[in-house]
Amino acid sequence: MTVRLSDKVALIIGSARGIGRGIAERFKEEGALIVLADSEAETGAATAAALGAPFICVDVSQKADVDAAVALALSRYGRLDIIVQNAGIYPWQLLENTTPEDWDRVMSVNLKGCFLAARAALDPMRQQGGGKILFTSSITGPHVTSPGHGHYSATKAGINGLIRAAALEFSGYGITVNGVEPGNILTEAIQLHRSPDFIRSMEEAIPLGRLGSVRDVANAFVFLASTEADYITGTTIIVDGGQLLPEGNDFRLAPDRP
């Protein structure tokens, strides 16, 4: 068993369930000292208890909450080596039905939350001589989209721009900034809110023939958080099973084709 994150202190925001919990589990497997933060107090506390980690309830769109999460990590372990901002919301709304208040809420959680996480981590990482800032982006926004995801798409495209800007500005402090762009991942939310037929239709659009697992995404985060990625900054890793590759729907070779 590898321990690529041995004794590294990692704060994971948006870690109560789904991809965030998967990241927390993988980081712990790799030896990290993890601190969990989420807006879901009960679920987040249960996840933290299961992983033996401290937990704080936060609204990532609020500076005081994000600062408090960083302060918890510092008070518990004395340093902060890795911060992951995974928290995000994706209400389904056509643009014509989206109010300014709806738009602002998605922007505040998904995009402003990343800025606040980066800003809160900057000072302690600068003082200790380096660190890793990681964001959950998406293929939705930077590359593709679908009806009802206008505000979500805008935030994820914005996150990719923030990654590049922060990577450049923080490079002199030994801080790297990167992200992961998941495709369609089989999370609890997908299973709860999508029909089996819908899930099968998504699988048919993916060259590898299945939706991604939470662990598939978490593995990419482990790599970016490890010393193996010390010379990587300002970029993202796409984890989508090849979903972005085909030019059309008829992409599978016939079984008898040489």
Q: What does the pLDDT average to over 21-48? A: 98
Tell me the per-residue pLDDT of 129-144, one tens digit each, with 9 for 90 and over. Answer: 999 999 999 999 999 9
Instruction: List pLDDT tens digits, range 150-201.
Output: 999 999 999 999 999 999 999 999 999 999 999 999 998 888 877 888 899 8
Residue 1 binned pLDDT confidence (cut-offs 50, 70, 90): low
Higher pLDDT, 255 or 250: 250
Q: What pLDDT does residue 90 have? A: 92
Residue 110, C-beta contacts closer than 8 angstroms, at least 6 positions apart = 87, 88, 89, 152, 155, 156, 159
Residue 189 has what pLDDT?
Answer: 80
Cα atoms in the Cβ-side hemisphere of radius 13 Å centred on 183 = 21
What integer is the mean pLDDT of 14-27?
98
CATH number of 9-239: 3.40.50.720
Give the percent of the chain with pLDDT over 70.
Answer: 97
| Domain-wise residue ranges, the chain | 9-239
The residues assigned a catalytic role are 152
